[in-house]
Amino acid sequence: MKTAYFSLGCFWSPQLEFENLEGVKKAEVGYCGGDDPNTTYEKVCSGSTNHAETVKVDYDEKLVSYEDLVRFFFKIHDPTQLNKQGPDVGTQYRSEIFYTDENQKEIAKKIKNEINNKFKGKVVTKVSKEKLYQPAEEYHQYYLKRKNFI
């Protein structure tokens, strides 16, 4: 089992989209990339922690590759919007891939460059080392499913 971390706006919908992929065993919503080891949703929304809303993806690399997950990440959001996706605005909604090792880093950078060429240099997605990932509060996990929005 491997793990990948993706930030692409509000985490509710991407959690379900990733979890529907063959080979993904679990998608969890949380916060990553910030400076507070004990953050909360309220702190993240204040912009004081530098965390991004993030989907942690546990996957079976025999069934789905990291490269496939990165390509899917770029497919399901707009990587040219700085610190926003749709109506959600703020640094917590930034586009960022958090890698766990050098292999993930190289794959993420390679695919980002490919996508950036297609978008004529407008991609703002960051590629960063995973830092201080924390699961979001329980009420955020599978929020759209529990509220019957899907």
Residue positions annotated with a catalytic role: 10
**Residue 115: both structure tokens together:** 């996508």
Residues in Cβ contact with 110 at an 8 Å cutoff, skipping those fewer than 6 apart: none
CB 104 within 8 A of CB 4: yes
The one-letter code for the residue type at 97 is I
Looking at this protein, which amino acid is placed at residue 116?
N
Q: How many Å apart are CA 86 and CA 112, to the nearest integer?
A: 21
